[in-house]
Chain A
């Protein structure tokens, strides 16, 4: 049973990583949001599995919170946003995708290498997945760097939070409930503020492309 759960968790972890790569290479904003929602779903399911297998009841709440916030609320807000901003079918020009993927692979190797000593110390069932969690964080960060539009950057930011959440689950069965609630609230509020900024940015620069913000620099 335990072994089966462990295999299951590893499977979900692998899916998370795969979704991270998919987000890294996805050009369409709409698909990006869907991928983000999917990532949230996988995260919620994997957290439930961890909760079930380790008998940590508070992780059920975490999973529920994740489901509610990252699968339903945030994607819904993002969908509304891109509809209102009329960027639903936007296609982004990015850096060369294969190169980005290669860099991503290097990051995954780096993350695994980094996580090896830590996972040996952790006594949890999920310890093998720490490397994946860190890789997810780094890949999301990389995604923020390679995108030039505002909305994908925000999605990258949110995906990074997913990776952190996963890392916490895999090393120490999640953070204390208070911290988790706080982070959830932060993410929600951050989303609102960024949504307002989107409109402001578009009003000022007639575009959501962040390269226009270079004009703000003082010479």
Chain B
């Protein structure tokens, strides 16, 4: 039974393995002997509908931000206001605040805004990235009506000492330095990462939003970021593991105006400081795993807009957020066929913002607690079923329970063909700005709620020198009480539970690794079809009913090819973003409210040399190979063809 348990071949483990091989093969040719891979996925993971980021993509984008990685290598839609500018992520046609991001269990979503700026998370500081779709996110937390992004640091227990350094020089005055030092033994380890990057970001573009139209360079768009991540892992005994993580980052960026701006000189700047820490103790008793975690996520933001020529400051706001996260979780095995998870969370958010020009702002303290219990059961040889319930409490009120149930079925048609499905209810608490912003915050807001349904078919096949896998997902979600801001008679905007949204669609992800002669070839392609429509209109003059939500493409796809041999490698990446509407009632003929589709292609060429135990690599990248002019957000120019040179040293 155990050998055949769930013979869940591939996808993650094999893929990860082969990806590593692909990396290694950049240094040397490796012949893979035939191996029989029998892998059993723990039953509490068998039902999860998710996708993992592969190591090739992460290595290519190590010096870039998470927004750039996800835009090119996932089915998540990234809405970016420019290179280095605010970038948010949307899963399956939902809002940015419906995407929750967890860094080693600590939620990174701003309690004030509800969303995460993905441009401020460097890929360098993360070891593993996975995406949980729809209801699969409920085991990590509530509110991810679209999905969740998990960022994990796992600690490298291999070897006693390692050092790596990436140095990047790129177009538009871009420099980046990324270093990592890991040391220790099998009892205690330290892993330190330091990073810094800056860019003048003054790329040229054709300004079509002014008259007469003219070639310009983007001004006021520079940025500089730096940070440190320190991890310490300690294993006092076989059944205990302690980890401490400390991540501090400072970022400063100029905010460029819209392309149509021709006003008086302006200086618009945003400074962000973030501190995230976590302390985790994992115990491995005979019956399962217990983990206790406590973390803090604090941020300070200063935003101002100066008109120096006219001698006044239009905005000057400072905000502070401090969030405490505490979690106790127990994974309990009930024999070989059952598994139970129990989790309790207590979070505390203390946030405030003040505009110093108008002397207006708010402060608020919010306490949240939640309890989660889930049970997983293997039924027969082919079925795994689960049931989960989460109960939350916020600011003295209990929310309705959030249940989720689902299955995984090993189809008898092949060795690795799995059908998975789940049905869930989820709630997303209003952000503190939605509730308390002055003016317009609405303390009477109800949580947004959704019913999510997911169906997934995983298939894979492997033979000598070839791995092939694919996933087809179909989803539907109905979100009610969606919070929107609408203007009031007082000419300010107020948050209200306004919209009902029906989101449905499907995505396909295909991947293959194969040995062709002396080459290792990795191929991936994905396509996402997303229909996310407004269903909550009442008035006959409201013509947004049934129309696609703004900035959500119906069609999007990615493709990726990596070819490597004797340390040489060539990588071609493609990202297609379909037409997007910029106004809720616009149709196909409304040419002023439509952003045209675009296809971006990047090309990476590189060589890695082995020098004893050390390695050195050089990579040349052409971004936007075909010099496509496009806009991801209206009136925000994006860079045309640009280049980067990266030197990597590993000891």
Q: Is the A/B pair a real complex?
A: no
